[in-house]
Structure 1
Amino acid sequence: MSTPPPRPSEPPSAAPPADRLDGLRFAFGTLTVLPVKVTRWDRDAARGGMLCAPVAGVVVGGCAAMVGLLLLFLGAGALLAAVATAAVPAVLTRGLHLDGLADTADGLGSGKPAEDALRIMKQSDIGPFGVLTLLFVLLAQVAALAQAYGDSWARGALAALVSATAARLALTLAARTGVPAARPEGLGAAVAGTVPVRSAMLVAALVTVAAAGFGALFGVDDIVRTALAVVAACAAAELLLRHCTRRFGGVTGDVFGGLAETAATTALVVLSLG
């Protein structure tokens, strides 16, 4: 997630209803470094932004796939293309999701009460749990992408696209009503509980069907594999979300980042199987 938003200048009840463009601006302005100005920080805009999060994932994944394909076209090997593909989402988010994953790992690994764990997560340094988690997650992402590119360029591009979209879908699901914020401030608090459960499930179904549709380009088995990759990504993120909610009392921006990286890695691993 991006930097914490300012406090709204007016209460949500006084603000006009957010339109789709407000939601898209919120999604791209907070989940990417693309030059999109966020004009509204109220709960309505946050709801639209979290519902549009997978759209931002499509753009991020598309950029990652294009970089990987370009390197392959220029004669690079599958491993180098995989490294570049894994690096693009980090660049397009200023590494904030990876940083959130590391901070979440440090908070969970500390074994301390919620208040102390949250304080550890706010510190600027990264502890041993965070370092190890980043190492293994990035290795898994690169290995899975290298295998996909080794099978075919198109499969590698599909893996990049599906994993980035599933990562942002995990954020949509984590922002559903009933999931509290661990802190009263920050972007985590701004988006926590904004998305109705039914809307979150609808977006998840649409993303899963779309992924299966792209998988159909490669055969019947890939329809199942791509759909399963999205479902498994959301399931893994949900397990982490529930654990973090129990340990920290809710979600934070760091937790959202950890969920995104967990979902992306799980999707890539599933796509590499079989």
Structure 2
Amino acid sequence: MSDRSDPADPARPAGWGDGLRFAFGTLSVLRVRVERWDRAAAGRAMAAAPVVGLVLGALAAGAGALLAWRAGGLPGAVAAVGALAALTRGLHLDGLADVADGLGSGKPAEDALRIMKQSDIGPFGVLTLVLVLFAQISVIAGQFDASTVRGVLAVLASATAARCALALGCLRSVPAARPGGLGAMVAGTVPPVAAAAATAGPVLLFAAVGALDGWSALRLPLAVAAGLGCSWLLLRRCVRRLDGITGDVLGAMAETAATGTLVALALLG
């Protein structure tokens, strides 16, 4: 959760510190003071979003590992997934449900966006949430049952991949679907080079970690790449159907990347 304030010097170029504060302030419940609330800082924030994923993933993985150690893989997985939802106030899950309802309606862009903006949840949203949460919990439980380290790395990889997807969703070539809101604030703010760095960094990190743990060095990065590929397909679908992105689309991309990463880990394990 953020404490927003106007920048002391609006003409000052946004730095990475501004971006990190913006990222933690908008993507987590952690209390930070956001000193820049503009598109320049938003671009930095979306490129730095994987750092938020690593921090939140570490917190959730710790909670999951503790419960898995005492009670088994399934309770540990529920704790990890629940912790991630609590640390974001369910922001991405809410976006996933809204996008499922909007796309599932089969209606034109304007009507689909109106459905997504409504506060209630429809049958497509409910079904999607149930399936996604079941997939995430079942895979993480299997990883914790295999070993605590694998469970922790699965949570870290999925949480980080989810935030990498945000950089892809905010590429400069991707427009906003409607004016106003967080989606319009961050849409089109990330240059391709920054998006490539935001995704390549975590992939290389997990390659090194996987090798140190005795796995194939390709297992974790391939899973992250698969998750990001799934989120990219969703992005293309949303841009075609909705003429751009919204905050809900970014949330749906994050959950899609996380779930795709976990499913890939299960298939590669």
TM-score normalised to structure 1 length = 0.94
Match of 1:69 in 2: 65
Aligned counterparts of 1:76 and 1:157: Cα–Cα separation in 2: 15
Question: Deviation digits for residues 208-234 of structure 1, max 9, x if unmatched?
Answer: 10111111123252x111010111111
- 1:41 aligns to 2:56 (yes or no): no
Map 1:130-209 onto structure 2 (within 5 A).
Answer: 130-209=125-204
Partner AA of 1:267 in structure 2: T
Match of 2:81 in 1: 86
Match of 1:265 in 2: 259
- Computed over aligned residues only, the root mean square deviation of the Cα atoms, in angstroms, reads 1.9
- 1:119 aligns to 2:114 (yes or no): yes
**Which of 91, 98, 106 is the equivalent residue of 1:103?**
98
CA contact (8 A) 2:6 2:36 kept: no
**Which of 2, 22, 46 is the equivalent residue of 2:18?**
22
Aligned counterparts of 2:174 and 2:11: Cα–Cα separation in 1: 24
Return the offset for 1:72. 2.6
Aligned counterparts of 1:119 and 1:238: Cα–Cα separation in 2: 23
Aligned counterparts of 1:267 and 1:212: Cα–Cα separation in 2: 14
Aligned counterparts of 2:132 and 2:215: Cα–Cα separation in 1: 29
Match of 1:256 in 2: 250
Aligned counterparts of 2:32 and 2:71: Cα–Cα separation in 1: 33
Match of 1:234 in 2: 228
Q: Secondary structure at the match of 2:155?
A: helix
Partner AA of 1:49 in structure 2: A
- Aligned residue pair count: 267
Return the offset for 1:195. 0.5
Seq. identity, %: 59
Which runs of at least 4 in structure 1 moved beyond 6 Å after TM superposition?
Answer: none
Aligned counterparts of 1:56 and 1:268: Cα–Cα separation in 2: 18
Return the offset for 1:108. 0.2
Aligned counterparts of 2:35 and 2:247: Cα–Cα separation in 1: 20
Return the offset for 1:9. 7.1
Question: Deviation digits for residues 129-158 of structure 1, max 9, x if unmatched?
Answer: 000000000000000001100100000000
**Which of 210, 235, 241 is the equivalent residue of 1:247?**
241
Aligned counterparts of 1:18 and 1:199: Cα–Cα separation in 2: 14
Return the offset for 1:192. 0.5
CA contact (8 A) 2:77 2:137 kept: yes
Question: Deviation digits for residues 187-224 of structure 1, max 9, x if unmatched?
Answer: 01100100101211122111110111111123252x11
Partner AA of 1:20 in structure 2: W
Partner AA of 2:38 in structure 1: D
Map 1:42-61 onto structure 2 (within 5 A).
Answer: 42-61=38-57
Q: Secondary structure at the match of 2:119?
A: coil
Return the offset for 1:97. 0.4
Aligned counterparts of 1:72 and 1:118: Cα–Cα separation in 2: 40
Q: Secondary structure at the match of 1:184?
A: coil
Q: Which runs of 5+ in 1 are unaligned?
A: none
